[in-house]
Amino acid sequence: MRKQGYQPLRVKKYIFRDLLFHTFYTLVSAATLGPIIWIFMLSFKTKKEFATNPLSLPRSFFLGNYINAFTDSLLTTFFMNSIIVTSIALALILIISTLAGYSLARIKFSSSRILFMIFVMLDGLPIYILIIPLYVMLNFLKLDNYLWGLIFTYVAMRTGVSIIIMRGFFRSIPSYLEDAAKIDGCNLLQSLWYIMLPIVRPGLTVAAIMNFIFVWNEYYLATILLSKMTLFTVPPGLSCSFMGRYTTNWPAMAAGFTLTIIPTFLVFIFLQDKIIKGWSTIDK
Amino acid sequence: MTISCPNNICFVGARGIYKYIFIIKLNNKIREGEAINNRFMDRLGKWRQFLLSPNLVGWLMCMPALVFGVLFFLVPAFVGFLISLYDWDGVTSMTFIGLDNYIEVFKIHRYWNAMLVNWLTFFGCLLTQIPLALFFAITLSKKSPIAKVYRSAIFAPRMLSVAAAGLLWSLVFDPYEGPLNQLLEKIGLESLTFSWLGEPNTALISLLIASSWLYFGFHMIIFMGGLASIPKEYYESVQLDTNNGLMVLWYITIPLLREQFLISFVIVFSGTFGALIGFFSLMTGGGPSGSTELLGLYMVSQAFRANRFGYASAIGVITFFIVFIVLLWPVIQTSRKRLEY
Amino acid sequence: MKKYSITLLTIVLFVVLGFSAFTAAAEQKIELKVWDVSFNEGYVRWWKNYVKEFNKANPNIEVTYETYETEAFKAKTAASIVAGTMPDIFKLNPGAIAFKYYTEGKVLAIEDLYDVSPYMPGIKEGCSFNGKMIFHPLYMVPFAIYYNKAQFAEAGIDLQKWADPTQPTWDEFIVACDKLKDAGFTPIAIGNASNWPFLAWVWILQNRFGGTKELIDAVSGVGSYTSPGFIKAAEVAQRFAQSGYFPKGFSSIGGNSMYILLTQGNGAMFYFGTWVIGTIKDNAPPGFEYGVFKFPSFPDGNPDSQRDIYSVLTAFAVSSTTKHPEAVAKFLQPLTTSYDVMLSYIKEASVIPAINGILEMAKTAGVDPVMLTVAQHFAEAKHGFGAWDWVLPAPVAEEMLNMSQPLSMGTITPKEFCERLEAKARQK
């Protein structure tokens, strides 16, 4: 939106504005990123250092916490389990919610509103009332000895929100695209796969990121619904190994947190671009 | 093309008119096709009609989600609802008391306090997180690498687990060692060095700040996704008429982000009445004198400390109905007006 | 391409998972599961070691020892009791709730499994129901006041000047608090985020005024929570909390931060259990010296209970769904019969096991002298009592925990505190 004008003045104006923006964003980023860096630093401290001054820089890079994290707890098992649970749950959630979201957004059928209400209801349920019945049911179905019980519970929990998201993104696409596809001869599924999906890629990514973070970091259900420690994912595994009733080994937990954040971080960086890609790929 | 704007300032550029005519013609054609289809369908039996109609496809596509949702969620929830009609402590046998739990819930002052806290938290979260997220989404939705760094930085808090964030913020707000108070002292605002989490007046606000920090990055991503779905043509056609950024924002961007606002609203609302419990529980466990006790926290303490599962389930059922009813209203509203381009 | 690799990954994982399910079923060993709540590292380390040794010595038994954080532990145990999938051994605190488990047939009595004579009589009573010992006492954690020697010296407080150097009277105690306050220190280190630390003061005060009989009567319904001892205790506790002796923002300090208060010098006195000793060892800066004395006495209080001790009692319960009670007995028995095991227990975990004669043995074995002092206090006490949040029935306990912060901050009156407890207890 630049007006053509006298260049020298404009250049100065924009340098000042850019500088302002950059300082502002750097401050904001410092506020959001700073604490995380602090946790990273914390993982290199000994317990005594933490007790005396929690906020200082570590005196030296004490790797003991990381070593402890692997020896005192079954961290590799926990990571493996987390990866299994998260990837399967994520795949299921995305597939199911895309299908349902698309049908609720685009297909005019009479029960769509009722179905959507059911899914909104699913989202609104507080999980705490159903923990005990859920546990009894999983136990009855013999699913609490395997990771499937947890996976299915996560899928059930997250489809509600994911369907709301996917439907929202599908609805915000102009319908003439779909009509054009129909004229071209695509049936429903083909138009979904070839036309709609690339357009709702931002929505899909948003749902993917949200569900990944949720499932990866989820603690309460995982602790209760998994019966064996060898089945634990990372959050219950960490707290189970390092968190006590009266004292907690925070530097060791910080090491665990740092290790936990890394996959999330990678996923986010990888997926971030997909959100920004907009119409440029579709205008053909 | 029609945009359902509140005022009638519709930006119809030249290209828009052509598209408009094209769409009308297209719609007519499709309706004709549907009319032919319908006459064919009328001759079939009802069951066959269902099988061949879009209804079946719609149901089929929703089926997997329904199966999971109903089996793993609604069934235990229904059992939970049944439990709320009994008086049960988890060990001894259950005694049926009908709706007594619900009557008791409505009489207790602590419940209404929790309700108030919950609604305050919800409005606080909504009013801080959404505008911030929108602001950052709009200003940072460029493709430059610097913008990418900033976006990652702003999203970073979301990647922490709740336990990490809880630890972090309890230390930040620590009255002795916390950086917040130390910073205030250095500036000279010593009178403001409250014990943020320790006093009933400041605890809720501190928690709101902490949860906003934690969650607003996610709303930023939602809005970014929404912004990316808006075709560039809108902005281009607008540029021919006006240059005012704010007007563009108000009349084009925000209405087109309607779906995203709905999504954010739903997430904030269901989160405040659901998932935020973990964070609050870790930070203050219900807070100084119940000033940060959410409904969910009250429910958990009744279930696992007071061992009154029936009563706790009643609280849960009521909370669920509140969430359900409140969420229905915007959903129905936006269902009616579809975003026609 | 990405979609294909994910499908491939899923299939591979499914196959792996399927196989791992089968291998799990193929083991022939006797498997015992133990659920516990870890409260400090020494304790967990000791247990893990003990389990390792036990597994080595008994190759046909495989014991898995798992620790959880308290909130999740409560939910997990509750869920497993309903479903009937309780672990063979799990931790709980004896009290009204725990004994209900026994009457409903969810736990076995250890008296039926092995010989229980070595236990100290007071502890045996705490773990028994109708004379039969149900729970295996893990440890006792007597409470006492630990103080920062350096700060006391600087404030000019000399324990020898007290009438009884091991226990001040309440007035002497208040004088000491004032002296600390004048010297610029925070007299009491307390963090009430989890509600019970302040309540511990109320409990011990009620004991000093009304004695354990008043408490037992109130719980069983013979007496009342509004008896004079309760009300006076709540009054004194509230007045104490409002006197500015507590740290700033104590209602939000909890968990780890509580201990940092004492070792960082942000609180001179800490009324807590022997866990502190282990934590101080781990966290204190070099040169930190501390001592211990009993909770103050009231010359005009209940004459019978001025030396009583509040002590947390934790026990293991054996679930009734266990398939191998003999293996369980084999696992738990050395904890009562082997003195070496017991001594290492005291040293590593800084808790006191409840076996007869352990104190004499401990004296000769080089246990931390502060720990010995506290153990001595316990031996001298006429009565002991446990945490009210286990002794009281669950709904009353929850109400009490909820009122802890309002009481300490002055938003409810002591009378209201007692009346609400009474109302809750007589409900139904």
User: What is the arithmetic mean of pLDDT over A59-72?
Assistant: 74
d(CA B185, CA B259): 45
Residue A3 pLDDT more than 70?
Answer: no
Mutation site for A-interface testing, chosen from C14, C16, C17, C88 by largest number of A Cβ within 10 Å: C17
Q: What is the pLDDT of residue B11?
A: 39
In a domain, A55, yes or no: yes
Residue of B82, B88, B91, B113 for testing the chain C interface, max C β-carbons within 10 Å: B91
Q: Is B101 in contact with B334 (CB distance < 8 Å)?
A: no
Tell me the per-residue pLDDT of B176-206, one tens digit each, with 9 for 90 and over.
777 777 777 777 776 667 777 878 888 888 8
Q: Is residue A270 part of a domain?
A: yes
Same domain, A92 and A202: yes
Residues A95 and A73 in one domain: yes
Q: Return d(Cα A261, Cα C38) in angstroms, integer.
A: 25
- In this prediction, residues A127-145 reach a mean pLDDT of 82
Residue C31: beta bridge partners? C62
Q: CA C193, C196, C200, C201: dihedral to nearest 10 degrees?
A: 40
Is B161 in contact with A260 (CB distance < 8 Å)?
Answer: yes
Report which of residues C133 and B17 the model is more confident about.
C133
The answer to whether the CB atoms of C76 and A241 lie below 8 A apart is no
CB distance B73–A1 less than 8 Å? Answer: no
Percent of chain B with pLDDT over 70: 76
Q: Are residues A138 and A228 in the same domain?
A: yes
Give tens-digit pLDDT for C6-64: 667 767 766 666 555 444 444 467 888 888 887 777 788 888 888 888 889 888 888 88
For residues C34 and C31, give the distance between their C-alpha atoms in angstroms, rounded to a whole number: 10
Domain assignment of residue A2, yes or no: no
Residue B129, pLDDT > 50, answer: yes
Compute the nearest-CA separation of B272 from chain C (Å): 20
pLDDT at A12 over 70: no
Q: Residue C184: which region, alpha, beta or left (left: phi > 0; alpha: psi -120 to 50)?
A: left
Residues A74 and A204 occupy one common structural domain:
yes
pLDDT of residue C393: 87
Are C141 and C273 within 8 A, CB to CB?
yes
In a domain, A183, yes or no: yes
Q: What is the DSSP string of B108-134?
A: -HHHHHHHHHHHHHHHHHHHHHHHHHH
pLDDT digits (tens, 9 = 90+) for A226-238: 887 788 888 888 8
Q: Is residue A225 part of a domain?
A: yes
Cβ proximity of C386 and C312 under 8 Å: yes
What's the pLDDT score for residue B6? 34
Please check whether residue C81 touches A, CB under 8 A.
no
Q: Please give the pLDDT value at position C417.
A: 92
Which residues, other chains included, contact B258 with Cβ-Cβ below 8 Å and sequence gap of 6+?
A: A172, B334, B339
What is the 8-class DSSP label of residue B80?
H
- The dihedral of CA B267, B272, B274, B276: what is its sign? positive
Alpha helices in C131-290 (DSSP H): 149-155, 170-182, 196-220, 228-241, 256-264, 275-283
* CA dihedral (A246, A251, A255, A260) positive or negative: positive
A29 confidence band (pLDDT: 50, 70, 90): confident
Residue C199, pLDDT score: 92
Out of B72, B83, B224, the one facing A276 most closely (by C-beta) is B224
Residues of A in contact with B180 (CB under 8 A): none
- The separation between the first and the last C-alpha atoms of chain C, rounded to the nearest angstrom, is 65
Task: Determine which of A125, A225, A258, A268 to mutate to test the interface with B (most B C-beta atoms within 10 Å).
Answer: A125
Q: Which of A64, A81, A106 is the last residue of a domain?
A: A64
- No. of H helices and E strands in chain C? 20, 11
Cα-only R_g, chain C: 24
- Please report residues of B whose CB lies closer than 8 A to that of A102: 61
Whether residues A228 and C64 touch (CB distance < 8 A) is answered with yes
- B201 reaches C (C-beta below 8 A): no
User: What's the rounded Cα separation, in Å, for the pair C295 and B112?
Assistant: 39
Same domain, A179 and A242: yes
Chain B residues within an 8 Å CB radius of A115? 58, 62, 66
Tell me which residues of chain C have a pLDDT lower than 70.
1-4, 6-7, 10, 13-28, 255-256, 428
Q: What is the sign of the dihedral through the CA atoms of C178, C183, C189 and C191?
A: positive
Distances from the Cα of B162 to the Cαs of A83, A218, A256, B215, B305, in angstroms? 19, 8, 13, 11, 22
Chain B stretch 100-139, residues whose beta carbon is closer than 8 A to a beta carbon of chain A: 136, 139
Write down the pLDDT at residue B144.
Answer: 73
Residues A229 and A115 occupy one common structural domain: yes
Q: DSSP string covering B180-221, please?
A: HHHHHHHHT-GGG---TTTSHHHHHHHHHHHHHHHHHHHHHH
- What is the rounded CA–CA span in Å between residue B268 and residue B263? 9
- The token duo for C10 is 């899923």
| Co-location of A73 and A60 in the same domain | no
Separation CA B195–CA B105 (nearest Å): 32
Out of A1, A174, A206, the one facing B221 most closely (by C-beta) is: A206
| Among A51, A88, A220, beta carbon nearest to C72 | A220
pLDDT above 50: residue A1: no
Q: C80, C192, C199, C251: best mutation site toward chain B, by most B Cβ within 10 Å?
A: C251
Question: Contact, A30 vs A230, CB < 8 A?
Answer: no
* Same domain membership, residue A141 and residue A23: no
Residue B80 confidence (pLDDT): 87
Q: Give the residue, C402 or B16, on which the prediction is more confident.
A: C402
Whole-number pLDDT of residue A112: 76
**C299 min Cα distance to partner chain A (Å):** 34
Measured distance CA(B102)–CA(B100) in Å, rounded = 5
* pLDDT for residue A283: 33
Q: Is the pLDDT of residue A280 over 50?
A: no
Residue A60 domain boundaries: 7-64
Specify the pLDDT at position C415: 92
Cβ–Cβ contact A147 with C under 8 A: yes
Q: Does A246 touch chain C (CB under 8 A)?
A: yes
| Pairwise CB contact (< 8 Å): A109 & B80 | no
pLDDT of residue B13: 46
Mean per-residue pLDDT, A77-99: 90
The whole-number average pLDDT for the span A53-80 is 74
How many folded domains does chain A comprise? 2
Which comes out higher in pLDDT, residue A91 or A20? A91
Would you say residue A131 lies in a domain?
A: yes
Closest approach of B291 to chain A, Cα-based (Å): 21
* Span of A33-42, A157-166, B210-219 with lowest mean pLDDT: A33-42
CATH number for the domain that contains residue A188: 1.10.3720.10
Are A161 and B267 in contact, with CB atoms under 8 Å apart?
yes
| Residue B127 banded pLDDT, cuts 50, 70, 90 | very high
- What is d(CA C143, CA B101) in angstroms, rounded to the nearest whole number? 39
pLDDT at A9: 52
Positive or negative CA dihedral for C363, C93, C61, C43?
Answer: negative
- Boundary (domain end) residue, out of A45, A64, A83: A64
Q: Which of A227, A239, A241 sits opposite C85 (nearest CB)?
A: A227
Shared domain for A166 and A277, answered yes or no, is yes
Residue showing tokens 């990954």: C9
Do A58 and A88 have their domain in common? no
H/E element, C88: none
Does residue A50 sit in the same domain as residue A80?
A: no
pLDDT class of B120 with cuts at 50, 70, 90: very high
When CB atoms are compared, the residue of C75, C248, C250 closest to B304 is C75
Nearest C-alpha in B relative to C194: B285
**Whether residue B322 has pLDDT greater than 90:** no
- Looking at A64, A85, A102, the residue that finishes a domain is A64
Residue B34 has pLDDT above 60, yes or no: no
C299 shares contact with chain B (CB less than 8 Å): no
Lowest mean pLDDT among B85-94, B102-111, C318-327: B85-94
Check residue A15 and give its pLDDT. Answer: 78
Task: Give the distance from residue A18's alpha carbon to the nearest chain C alpha carbon, in angstroms.
Answer: 38
Q: Give residue B35's pLDDT.
A: 55
Burial tier of C75 (Cβ tally within 10 Å: 0-12, 13-18, 19+): buried
Residue B153 has pLDDT above 70, yes or no: yes
Single out the residue of A195, A191, A180, A174 nearest to residue B25, CA to CA: A180
Q: By the 8 A CB rule, do C291 and C370 touch?
A: yes
Q: Which residues of A touch C14 (CB under 8 A)?
A: 88
Contacting residues of A for C37, CB less than 8 Å apart: 244-245
Alpha carbon distance, N-terminus to C-terminus of chain A: 26
Report the Cα C377 to chain-centroid distance in Å: 17
Interface residue of C40, C93, C270 to substitute, partner A, most A CBs within 10 Å: C40
pLDDT for position A36 = 83
Q: C43 to chain A: nearest residue by CA? A: A244
Q: Which residue of B has its CA nearest to C82?
A: B90
Asked whether residue A49 falls in the same domain as residue A157, the answer is no
Q: Is residue A88 included in any domain, yes or no?
A: yes
Q: What are the structural domains of chain B?
A: 84-336 (1.10.3720.10)
Is A1 a domain residue?
no
Domains of chain C: 29-141+312-375 (3.40.190.10), 142-310+384-425 (3.40.190.10)
Interfacial B residues in 259-288 facing C (CB < 8 Å): 281, 284-286, 288
Please, what is the average pLDDT of chain A? 78
